[in-house]
Structure 1
């Protein structure tokens, strides 16, 4: 929106709708994502004495004060573009004004309230502490008066930036004085936690105006009230709610939850011992492309979560990628640039989360498994990174955008050759924001719980039937098994030592295996023994 002929100032909108301030290289964003087709009042203020910048949205500070060096460009000032007119602004603008001074907060608020930019100064001819323009706007003159009867004097209203002619300036159901003195809320912000409930509605319901999820159950107060549940009592939410896809990596790249199956890229991918059962081993040149409608995994403007277990055998590429949908404001879980020591980061709609100084474990014998979860919460416009069950970083202003390439496990579809080298296991995607306790449950103190177990789908590895044929003095055994596996069968008389094996290469017959065949019997390996125990093991 604002620029110069040669670099320098370029203030406007970036990163999916955030007000942005920049002096060519000294860039930063405010915190609120703007809505399309909505009029707003924006003000960019730079204090050259303090070298500080502040961004205002609708009269309120939305970013800063932030340290920022002086503008370093040259040439003419430009409105509607930057750097000689590039990246032109697209939208409506009105009442554009520039001052050679730092306007105080009250003046900016008056402008946002519709005051004319002409005369928006702090002149106070009668010296009563109320600027002439403010007195004229609200039709007041007595600094000790209280025309709206809210218990605040005019001079107090001016200093607080509330309206002297409206007892409830932000129309949230609470008087300005009650917000300040009783509830300790902002009389100029009707919904402090942005959960859809006005602060007055929160007070009436007994919920916290500054906490969108008072009971911490992962469901916002607004949604609980709307759905008829109690926002003060933890509401159980099914773990599989909005689960889109789940790849267990147990000998297959198939999607256990849906139909978005994985396709090997870069040659045959080996299955090795995983955190749970098998895991895909990626050698640094391979990845898994997810088939089906790629748009399903964009979650444009919505909430989403990704969960995965991994080992890092070698980290030797900048932005080395574990799982991703794409660049820009698509989502991805990857190494932060070329940082050393390397650390895992997450982009969920507004660039990488801030540095958290938790270094990745690379290599090692025995190998070290870690869990990572990335969450974008559209209701708060935040992206959150969890490592090993704990939140390590979050960032505001997150809005996911559409990307055109299929999702990949082990590489970035928009920036190829950032392949992961190590194992990947139990990858899952939800179309909602996982609650912190759900992420902690997956980590389970480091022992971990597979998504399969969390969903209650895990089939216990056990014998389901043992038949003894007295006439043949033989046995037939049946157990729950997994496809593409082999098993070893042992026996013992004491239940303490199973050194004697009957067969160490029994091929799985699918989800159930019978040994020996249906018309065969296993001869009694301890003829005449009073008791006999069998043990089945899955070969690794």
Structure 2
């Protein structure tokens, strides 16, 4: 499977409103996860990534790694990237991270969790490593139950070790294989099989996330994570950006309205969908926008801009997400 890098826009509009615009190319005959290969060789692009938690806990890119920490009492420090597309083949999700300090060579260490997560319309899955050195794999099926696929297992990690976590999903079998390795060594099998209630389905095309969470303050030391690599897509490197790209979002903070422009193809039809949580994308602003040429603007300039669909009884949402997709012709 070839993965497509999706461009994501994250822009500060006003103190009261932040929005994230995502856009993807959906074709009638086939679909692909919009993945990425990230080595953090350049400063973090906030048009693509979303930082959550206390601002000071995000230390940014240094020497080819993204550095972040977490403090006790905070809701957790997260780095998130929207994926999108739709599931039509096998994929790999992998993260390489160095945790130091974390274990502190004794229990409970820093009293923290490191989590690698992925979310889709059918559920979510996460690998959770705690500072006792124990790791588990959790699956929540949105149409069924939730629980550990692999219970707490000590993986023998120490501060300064480089940990690689990999989840391979087999589309035909609807099964996963999770492995880990330390310091570039051989991959160690962690779990292989189906989901918590059998089916797994799509647990990746909403967004992926890494998180540090300090759950107690028995030791005052804060955990520190350095993400060296983060890849989502096929087992080979994803291809370049999709031809469908959002080129402008015009937001009027006084009127609370939006106008969108994107690259388009003559004869194609597009839809604009929105979400408040990156999970539910059922709502649309329009699903029959015909291309105006190689660039399309909606609403057209001679029509009033689109009211913010997330505003309810005069209260604007803290965040709103938009997705522009090609609509297959009948």
Q: RCO greater where, 1 or 2, for CA within 8 Å and sep 6 or more?
A: 2
Give the TM-score taking structure 1 as reference length. Answer: 0.27
- Return the index of the structure with the highest Cα Rg: 1
Say which structure is richer in helix. 1
